[in-house]
């Protein structure tokens, strides 16, 4: 599977994981994986193999917080709920809210073993290895998400992208701000969706 196809597929899956957490009538404008550390490669943020607890590797960097604001500010509240490195989370922007969703410990329905499932035999394992070697294997399903934080969209003053690695800069109306790592390729559409003229 080509990387562009994988990104598009993962984005569609991510939207499907976020939508159950929206209020009735609320419209999802953008969603992307974010992390504290900009050293995590983009694929880690869009593929479950890179998610802690999902078979990914853990990096040893000690990233500094991108927080600029006093305790009790909107950015400080969001920063307090952002998972520690190297875990990732999802920022979702709707027409009404900005949401932070974290990875749930529950398995998605499509990853739970069937009650009557038989252990895969040697040929089954050999087939999986062959599909992986020739890049024909289906990537594992994205994990379930659970809400960790939210604020009214009106509290979000501006969103920007900085540096080529992808830092998403969130500035709030109380003067506080927070910078998080995000894939630049996906941060740009998020910024576009956050423009004031995009609010319905």
Confidence (pLDDT) at 87: 82
**Do the beta carbons of residue 174 and residue 69 sit within 8 Å?**
yes
Average pLDDT, the chain: 77
Q: Is residue 114 part of a domain?
A: no
Mean pLDDT of 180-196: 88
Residues ≥6 apart with Cβ < 8 Å to 59: 37, 39, 40, 85, 86
Q: Is residue 144 part of a domain?
A: yes
Confidence (pLDDT) at 163: 64
- Could you report the per-residue pLDDT of 58-83, keeping only the tens digit for each? 333 334 568 899 999 999 999 999 98
Q: Is residue 111 part of a domain?
A: no
Tokens 């009735």: give the residue: 24
SS3 label, residue 181: strand
Does residue 114 have a pLDDT over 80?
no
Q: Is residue 115 part of a domain?
A: no
Q: Is residue 32 part of a domain?
A: yes
User: What's the domain range around 150?
Assistant: 3-106+121-198
How many alpha carbons fall within 13 Å on the CB side of residue 146?
A: 8
Q: Measuring CA to CA, which residue among 89, 37, 76 is closest to residue 172?
A: 76
Confidence (pLDDT) at 125: 53
The CA-CA-CA angle for residues 98, 101, 105, to 5°, reads 170
Instruction: Report the domain count for the chain.
Output: 1
In this prediction the pTM is: 0.74
For residue 194, give the CATH number of its domain.
2.30.29
Q: Is residue 113 part of a domain?
A: no
Confidence (pLDDT) at 95: 95
DSSP annotation string for 49-93: GGSTTTTPPPP---PPP-EES-TTSHHHHHHHHSPPTT-EEEEEE
Q: Is residue 58 part of a domain?
A: yes
Q: Is residue 188 part of a domain?
A: yes
Percent of the chain exceeding pLDDT 70 equals: 64
Does residue 104 have a pLDDT over 80?
yes
């Amino acid at each position: 599977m080509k990387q562009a196809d994988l990104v598009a597929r993962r984005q569609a899956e991510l939207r499907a994981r976020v939508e159950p957490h929206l209020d009735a009538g609320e419209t999802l404008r953008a969603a992307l994986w974010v992390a504290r550390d900009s050293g995590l490669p983009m694929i880690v943020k869009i593929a479950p193999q890179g998610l802690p607890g999902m078979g990914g590797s853990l990096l040893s960097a000690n990233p500094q917080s991108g927080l600029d604001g006093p305790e009790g500010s909107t950015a400080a509240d969001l920063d307090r709920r952002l998972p520690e490195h190297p875990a990732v989370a999802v920022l979702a922007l709707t027409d009404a809210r900005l949401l932070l969703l974290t990875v749930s410990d529950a398995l998605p329905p499509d990853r739970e073993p069937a009650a009557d499932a038989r252990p895969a035999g040697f040929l089954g394992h050999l087939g999986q290895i062959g599909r992986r070697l020739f890049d024909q294997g289906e990537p594992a399903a994205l994990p379930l998400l659970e809400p960790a934080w939210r604020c009214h969209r009106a509290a979000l003053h501006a969103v920007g992208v900085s540096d080529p690695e992808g830092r998403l800069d969130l500035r709030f109306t109380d003067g506080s701000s927070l910078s998080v790592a995000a894939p630049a390729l996906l941060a740009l559409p998020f910024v576009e969706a956050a423009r004031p003229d995009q609010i319905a």
